[in-house]
Amino acid sequence: MKQRRVYAISGVAPERHAYAMAKYSRSAESLADSARELTGDRTRKFLNTMYFKYGHASIADMAHISLGVEQISLWAAIALVDEQLWDGQERSTRYQPFRETGFYTPADAPCDYTDSAEWLMMRYEATTEHWLAQLQEQYPRPDSMKVADYEAAIRARAFDIARYYLFLGVNTSVGQITSARVLERQVARLAAEPLPELRALAVDLKKAVTEEPAFDLGAERLQALLAPVPEPQRSMLLAQLQPEPLAPTLIKYADPSPYQQIVWSDVAAVARELLPSVLPDNARAVVLTAEQNPIDAAVSALLYQVSDIAYHQIAERVADLTAAEKRDVLEAALAKRGPHAEWLRAFQGAPLAFDILMDIGGYRDLHRHRRASQIRQAFTTRHGAAVPEPMRGTAAEQRYLADMQKAGEYVDGLAKWDPVQAHYLLPLGYRCRALFRMDLAEAGYIIRLRSREGGHFSYRSVAHQMYEALTVRYPEFAPYLTVTDPSLDNPLNR
């Protein structure tokens, strides 16, 4: 009788690994034996039949691909990582040499765009230096704290304040690990975006895995080991180590989603008829709305994404709509959906809906939570800028607010050039609105994690307001939540 055996496998290209798993499930061979006999040709033939012809989409879930995506704008990074089944890391805004990495400039951007971006970069640098000195004076180094630890903590807090001057066009980098199935969906989604940078990024992602040879670090190590081997044996061995594209088959048909290209303009047209022309209710940063019935929740979420007013304002309006008016919204959203198009997030239900209005920098931190269904409204200057908590009541606050107003005027002025791309200059200090729908478990996790001392003061405040909104609505749940009051704030505790 065979004995239990558990083992790891490495050194197999993602597509071949997926083929090995699929073949393994259809045979009595061991996984190791299935993987050993694979060739590129056999893999491509199998995937063309089983994945594309017969539609066994789960095969692509087993091909995991690591990608480095470098020198893209913060805006592009937000769009790139907007996948629920996604793993990766984006560069922090702390400690980054933004003068070296620079900022994204659209091909036809006017001189005013570059001048405005340079001014924001100078204000970022000046604000960093100001707060480094201010914090050192406010929080002297304790004798028990190492100099390096103290300097790192002070610099982190200074960067947290100064980042409000960074803007959506500033360049960053992202490392991601996704399945081929998620990557295919990601490419199709980005290729349908109106932003030119995102469409170009979709082309590069697809090319990186279907055409370009991968950076094979194992092959590099083997080349070094083969250095002493005499010719011609060495050349013969090296010829077998030539890197290949990671997914030449599974991603090859990832094209722009026609559905995603048209659906939001159709929904927006209906929204203009149904939604009242009112100012957004920005009185509260966090508003908890109990979910409606599934249809009302979907209609509200659809209208929310093409609006800039608060979710509760929309939900109240939807409650008064007739059945026919609700069908108009659903028709706009679903009539042109093809059989293979992804369902919109508006149809993904969850019992809790937190409508959150916060600075874009803090939103980027909360955006990393994958167990929440997130719907973000378009970036805009209409919600104004948030004030960094340590800056409130200081002499620097009025200068900051004047700078933010000036930056907003730059964005609005450049709308004559391009009403969408002008928002590359929108500072991270400006507020954006996003709907986070989640269950109780995820709410408890976010409240505990994001309220902890040492985190950024922006999301700490939001997490605490989530706690307050949740416990007011459901007081019986309060004993099971862990929260840290944001007033407990010492930048030296990280």
Whether 67 is in a domain gets the answer: no
Whether 224 is in a domain gets the answer: no
Instruction: Please give the pLDDT value at position 280.
Output: 95
Q: CA separation (Å) from 391 to 98, 121, 253?
A: 22, 19, 51
Q: Residue 122, Cα to own-chain centre: how many angstroms?
A: 27
Residue 121 has pLDDT above 90, yes or no: yes
Q: Using 50, 70 and 90 to split pLDDT, how confident is the model at 221? A: low
Q: Which residue has the higher pLDDT, 171 or 55?
A: 171
Whether 187 is in a domain gets the answer: no
Amino acid in the structure at residue 349:
G
Of all helices (H) and strands (E), which one includes residue 376?
Answer: strand 373-376
| Boundary residue ending a domain (12, 32, 62) | 62
Residue 300 has pLDDT above 70, yes or no: yes
* CA pair distance 195, 202, nearest whole angstrom: 11
What confidence tens digit (pLDDT) does each residue in 408-457 have? Answer: 999 999 999 999 999 999 999 999 999 999 888 899 999 999 999 989 99
Mean pLDDT computed over 142-170? 95
* Spatial strand order in the sheet of 171-179: 64-73, 171-179, 87-90
What confidence tens digit (pLDDT) does each residue in 81-115 have? Answer: 999 888 898 988 887 889 889 999 999 999 999 99
Residues 432, 377 contacting (CB under 8 angstroms) = yes
| Helix segments in 226-354, DSSP class H | 233-239, 258-274, 294-305, 311-320, 323-334
Instruction: Please give the pLDDT value at position 238.
Output: 60
Instruction: Please give the pLDDT value at position 292.
Output: 74
Per the structure, the complete domain to which residue 45 belongs is given by 1-62
| Boundary residue ending a domain (62, 84, 106) | 62
Whether 77 is in a domain gets the answer: no
Residue 42 has pLDDT above 90, yes or no: no
What CATH number did the domain enclosing 318 receive?
A: 3.30.70.3180
Instruction: Please give the pLDDT value at position 247.
Output: 75
Instruction: Please give the pLDDT value at position 371.
Output: 86
Residue 66 has pLDDT above 70, yes or no: yes
Q: Which residue has the higher pLDDT, 253 or 51?
A: 253
Rg for the chain (alpha carbons), in Å?
Answer: 26
Q: CA separation (Å) from 136 to 119, 152, 157, 382, 450?
A: 26, 11, 11, 35, 25
Residue 117 has pLDDT above 70, yes or no: yes
Instruction: Please give the pLDDT value at position 7.
Output: 65
Mean pLDDT computed over 209-236? 72
Whether 270 is in a domain gets the answer: yes
Residue 214 has pLDDT above 80, yes or no: no
Q: How many domains does the chain have?
A: 2
Whether 382 is in a domain gets the answer: yes
Instruction: Please give the pLDDT value at position 237.
Output: 63
Whether 448 is in a domain gets the answer: yes
Whether 132 is in a domain gets the answer: no
